[in-house]
């Protein structure tokens, strides 16, 4: 008889909520944090390796953060400014320019950052003309979640929402190799050198374990309360008093007052 109490709408709703929450913890939230932990670990390993690895000539397929050299010339007229950036916790612009290599291929170069002046792009030095040799780190393209194209601002500057060779290629009509080169300090054309990320594992692994614990606690809590309420005298096995309406309570008070008046 008490088992049929588990079919009450309230208990079924609670059971469904526990199942959905636990499933999300185990299949979505915890794996998401594990993936972020692995991505951070991979980044840290690549940065650590790049600090001791020799500089190589740029070519397609080089791992991210590897120091590379590239010889060619800046295509200054095809410059695109990356807007709404954050560098070391402060707002910034980043200046990107296509760079034609001596073999004719074009790569995107991130010259570094500029601090805004009254929320506007400040003045800055143009890159050197003619053939130069760059020292940079290989980076992978960023992705704008809204896939927005570059636009031209009131000063005639092209601006984009991410550092992305695909966006610059669409804006300029150039065929640009995937990824981009982030200039190192003292490299020709560099502005504010972009710092390397800190080698910090981050909180993602502990967050993943917390989501697993939350899912397990939800299931264990549901099992405990199910066992407790199925015991004799449990809330599921007792009939709860019907909630009285306001009219019924008013009628009872009036009846009590009439009874007092007649005594």
pLDDT digits 0-9 by tens, 198-228: 777 788 889 999 999 999 999 999 888 888 7
For the chain, what are the domain ranges? Answer: 2-36+204-262, 66-183
Quote the strand ranges of the chain, DSSP E: 56-57, 67-74, 80-87, 90-101, 106-114, 132-139, 151-152, 158-160, 176-183
pLDDT digits 0-9 by tens, 175-189: 999 999 999 999 999
Helix 204-230 with 9-24: angle, nearest 10 deg = 160
- pLDDT recorded at residue 1: 46
Q: For 149-161, what is the mean pLDDT?
A: 93
User: pTM surpassing 0.75?
Assistant: no
Q: For 73-101, what is the mean pLDDT?
A: 96
């Amino acid at each position: 008889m008490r088992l049929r109490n588990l079919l009450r709408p309230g208990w079924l709703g609670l059971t469904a909520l526990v199942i959905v929450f636990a499933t999300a913890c185990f299949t979505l939230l915890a794996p998401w944090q594990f993936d972020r932990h692995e991505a951070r670990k991979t980044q840290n390993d690549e940065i650590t390796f790049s600090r001791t690895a020799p500089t190589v000539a740029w070519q397609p397929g080089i791992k991210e953060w590897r120091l590379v050299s590239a010889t060619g010339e800046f295509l200054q007229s095809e410059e695109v400014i990356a807007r709404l950036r954050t560098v070391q916790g402060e707002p910034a612009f980043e200046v990107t320019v296509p760079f034609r290599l001596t073999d004719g291929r074009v790569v995107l170069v991130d010259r570094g950052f500029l601090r805004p002046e009254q929320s506007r792009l400040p003045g800055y030095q143009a890159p050197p003309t003619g053939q130069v040799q760059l020292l940079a780190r290989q980076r992978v393209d960023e992705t704008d979640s809204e896939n927005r194209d570059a636009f031209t601002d009131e000063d005639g500057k092209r601006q984009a929402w991410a550092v992305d060779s695909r966006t610059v290629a669409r804006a300029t009509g150039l065929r640009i190799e995937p990824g981009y080169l982030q200039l190192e300090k003292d490299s020709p054309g560099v502005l504010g050198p972009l710092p390397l990320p800190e080698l910090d594992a981050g909180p993602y692994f502990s967050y993943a374990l917390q989501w697993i614990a939350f899912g397990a606690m939800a299931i264990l809590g549901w099992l405990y309360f199910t066992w407790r309420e199925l015991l004799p005298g449990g809330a599921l096995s007792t009939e709860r008093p019907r909630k009285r309406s306001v009219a019924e309570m008013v009628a009872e008070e009036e009846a009590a007052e009439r009874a007092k008046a007649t005594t």
